[in-house]
Each structure stands twice: as C-alpha cells, then as structure tokens.
Chain A
C-alpha cells in the first residue's frame, strides 16, 4: 500500500475522444509524475508536477497535458485519443522534486482506445 490512488482503474474510449485520469498522491507529497506503460514495455515518463507547476516533460506530444491542484492531487488529460495511447497510465508521488527521494507508484489506470 503506497498511499497513491488512481482512478478509474479501467476505461475504454473511442479514437478521437478525450480522457481524464486522476491521482491522489501520498499524504505530504508535493511532487507527482505520470508515466505511460505500453504492453510488454517499461514505463515511460510523461511529465512531472511540483507545487502545481510542470517542471519536466518526456517525449510526449502536447495533447498530453496535466494539472496539479493545491492539495497536490493531479490529473492527466489526453486529447484526440489514438489507438497507440492504449496503455497502463501510472502516477507516482514523492515528498519533493529533488533527487534522492523515494518515489511511490499507484496501481495505474488501464486505458483501452478502440
């Protein structure tokens, strides 16, 4: 039990639609990161939020966007869904954004795009 909770756990969307995934970070953690994990692959870093500001981004197009709220919970939004967006989306939280902190993952949200 990591204290990082994600919702929904599973969802199915149609190509072209938009999706919002949610994450509640562990209590006291002000840094949240999002990862995409395609089947058979390791997780890939999408972006990180620290105190409501995006402070790092991986190689993902602008249709992947996010928010972090004052309580440090976070949302991942994906617009214009494509079939290749089908994946497990993971949220991770840590106490601070600097190196050396323990980073805890949630159980993820499975997104299927049809």
Chain B
C-alpha cells in the first residue's frame, strides 16, 4: 500500500480557504487518492476522491499534481465545523478495497 505523508497539524482562519497537503510519492498508476475527515468520536466522513484529474464537490476540491505524487485538499470557505482530523489515503488496488489510514492532519479553524 502506498504511504502518505501529511503535516500533523494546521491552523486556518474562519472564512479563509484551508489547503491541506498530502505527499504520496509511491502511488501506483491505478491507485486512488481519498480524503476523509473525522470529528472526535464520530465515524470518518467521506469528503472526496480522485485518480488523476482534479475533482470538486459541494464540500471540497481535490488537486492532484500531474505526476500524482502529491495532492491538496481545498476547503474553500472554512467554518468552525470544519475543525477535524483530515486523512489522506491511497487506496490499494489488490483485492479488497482497503483504506490505510495514517495519523492525518489535525485542522483547527480559528474564529
């Protein structure tokens, strides 16, 4: 399974865009990049995922570099409710659809 590297913590002001980086330099050609977040004591919440192209949905945008070795999750207008641990995951393609969670980035949105 490809390993991901994320900063352990980040801060962002409310109303500003939060940009969360992720390094996945060992990603294979058919592995997807997934982003989840987890608010204390709750199940992980799906945010977005992509393979090669940039993706956008109602929650966030995912920017994947051309070489696919890194990506950035963008929360366009962060609110206090976006405070959470954000996980960047590269999903294995062998057999089971396994998500390998790392330690994630603890994002704190400040008023």
Residues on A close to B: CB < 8 A?
2, 4, 31, 33, 35, 41-45, 47-48, 50, 55-58, 88, 90, 92, 94, 97-108
Contacts and interface: CB of A to CB of B under 8 A. Distances in A.
A104 B48 CA distance: 11
B101 A42 contact: yes
19 contacts: A2-B43, A4-B43, A33-B97, A35-B99, A42-B87, A42-B102, A42-B104, A45-B96, A48-B97, A50-B96, A56-B95, A57-B96, A88-B41, A90-B44, A97-B97, A98-B97, A99-B91, A100-B32, A105-B36
B73 to A, nearest CB: 16
Given A99-B30, A99-B93, A45 B49 contact: no
Interface string B6-43: 00000000000000000000000011101010000111
B48 to A, nearest CB: 9
Contacts of B87: 42
For chain B, give the interface size range.
20 to 34
> Shortest 10 CB-CB distances between A and B: which pairs?
A56-B96, A42-B101, A105-B43, A48-B96, A107-B43, A45-B98, A56-B95, A105-B44, A99-B93, A43-B101
Given A100-B32, A102-B49, A45 B44 contact: no
B32 to A, nearest CB: 5
Contacts of A94: 97
Contacts, number: 75
Contacts of A41: 103
B80 interface: no
B45 interface: yes
B46 to A, nearest CB: 6
B98 A31 contact: no
Contacts of B91: 99-100
B51 interface: yes
Contacts of A48: 96-98
Given A42-B101, A100-B32, A105-B43, 19 more contacts: A2-B43, A2-B45, A4-B43, A33-B97, A35-B99, A42-B87, A42-B102, A45-B96, A56-B97, A56-B98, A57-B96, A58-B98, A88-B41, A98-B97, A99-B31, A99-B91, A99-B92, A100-B49, A105-B44
